[in-house]
């Protein structure tokens, strides 16, 4: 266990350290929620059969709401019972009354606990009502309770725009446990609307530490929406000199961490854009993937498409494509070249659709001032060039 000071191979922090089987990309947030809820239920059922409790670490925020809804619905249908589940929440604002609508006590009750058969004594959420001199002892006891249950079977996490997990903001460390922390200004700004102004957002929070989280048997990091795409890429693929700059980077050291993203959140990842660079045994070589790989390779090497040779593929992570093509890269490159030339020729032919000597009014609508130029620029130029009368701008 990490808390037991076992050696950790921190080299994983400085490299892209995930494989295709660890990253799950879904088309929609709902699909992601269904997949994650099914995994949680599977863990609960396995532990129920073994006659032992399931210990979960749970997050708040917008990301897990659909997962909680899916769990509630499956409980309503009789697919799962939470009677033997113990939960520890990641964090809570400080100071914060549990009845406050922005408290995580309120959030968890509204979105999950009030709708399932969990025992109230099995729910643990950091106490935001304590005096500051009581917080340290509370945090130590929180850690002790987690250890008494043998750690988490599963830690469910979201990721903030600063890269925080829980409220472990940039500057957090691998050895950190449950503690009182100062919130990053960006985190407070993100919460400002919910609190009706940043002045109402607490400046502190009680949060589980990186060490606490990493002691979980399994971890799931979730993210949805385009606004999370940049920080997801940073957490998964950037090579930081100091990993604490993006705390979610610490998840790379965990041997059983899985990542669940909808396509909007995951669209910048190599596993989405260039999956063959992550999976050396990539086999889903459609022509579109082949074409993208060849074009990317030509850009990287500075060579023309038909100048690429087997050694270029081999030296740039494309051995699986080499094998797929039985090392006939000349044929592959020529087919990609032909496809591109056909597209260029087709675009040229398209211009002939516009008749010569247009004199009728042409009205072009667009939802945004520059969309017409971006989408129809070439056609507009063609229409203008073929009009009998000059168009005044």
Catalytic site residue from 31, 46, 92, 169: 169
Distance, CA of 167 to CA of 31 (rounded, Å): 26
Q: Please, which residues have CB within 8 angstroms of residue 44's CB and are 6 or more apart in sequence?
A: 54, 80, 81, 82, 84, 85
Sign of CA dihedral 168, 170, 171, 173: positive
169 is catalytic: yes
Q: Which element (helix H / strand E) includes 105?
A: helix 104-111
Q: Please, which residues have CB within 8 angstroms of residue 70's CB and are 6 or more apart in sequence?
A: 33, 34, 36, 37
Q: Which residue has the tokens 């919130």?
A: 183
Distance, CA of 54 to CA of 314 (rounded, Å): 47
Q: Cβ atoms within 10 A of the Cβ of 373, count?
A: 13
Question: Cβ distance 215 to 254 under 8 Å?
Answer: no
Largest CA distance in the chain: 85
* Enzyme catalytic residues: 169
């Amino acid at each position: 266990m990490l808390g037991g000071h076992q050696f950790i191979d921190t080299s994983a922090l400085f490299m892209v350290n995930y494989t295709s089987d660890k990253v799950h990309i879904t088309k929609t947030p709902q699909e992601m929620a269904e997949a994650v809820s099914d995994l949680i239920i599977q863990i609960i059922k396995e532990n129920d059969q073994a006659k032992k409790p399931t210990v979960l670490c749970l997050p708040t925020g917008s990301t897990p709401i659909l997962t909680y809804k899916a769990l509630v619905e499956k409980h309503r249908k009789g697919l799962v019972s939470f009677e033997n589940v113990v939960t520890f929440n990641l964090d809570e604002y400080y100071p914060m009354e549990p009845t406050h609508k922005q408290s995580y006590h309120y959030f968890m009750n509204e979105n999950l606990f009030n709708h399932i058969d969990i025992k109230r004594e099995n729910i643990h959420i950091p106490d935001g009502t304590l005096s500051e001199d009581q917080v340290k002892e509370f945090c130590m006891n929180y850690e002790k309770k987690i250890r008494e249950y043998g750690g988490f079977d599963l830690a469910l996490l979201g990721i903030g725009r600063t890269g925080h997990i829980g409220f472990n903001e940039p500057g957090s460390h691998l050895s950190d446990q449950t503690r009182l922390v100062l919130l990053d200004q960006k985190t407070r700004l993100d919460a400002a609307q919910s609190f009706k102004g940043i002045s109402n957002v607490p400046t502190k929070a009680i949060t589980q530490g990186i060490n606490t989280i990493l002691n979980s048997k399994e971890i799931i990091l979730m993210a949805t929406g385009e606004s999370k795409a940049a920080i997801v890429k940073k957490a998964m693929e950037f090579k930081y000199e100091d990993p604490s700059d993006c705390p979610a980077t610490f998840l790379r050291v965990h041997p059983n961490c899985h990542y669940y993203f909808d396509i909007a959140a995951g669209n910048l990842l190599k596993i989405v854009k260039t999956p063959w660079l992550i999976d050396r045994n990539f086999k889903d070589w459609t022509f579109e993937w082949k074409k993208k790989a060849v074009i990317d390779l030509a850009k990287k090497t500075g060579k023309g498409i038909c100048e690429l040779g087997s050694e270029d593929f081999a030296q740039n992570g494309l051995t699986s494509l080499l094998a797929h093509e039985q090392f006939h890269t000349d044929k592959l490159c020529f087919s990609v070249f032909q496809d591109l030339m056909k597209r260029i020729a087709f675009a040229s032919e398209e211009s002939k659709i516009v008749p010569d000597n247009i004199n009728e009014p042409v009205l072009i609508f667009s939802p945004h001032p520059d969309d017409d130029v971006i989408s129809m620029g070439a056609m507009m130029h063609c229409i203008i060039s073929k009009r009998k009368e000059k168009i005044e701008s």
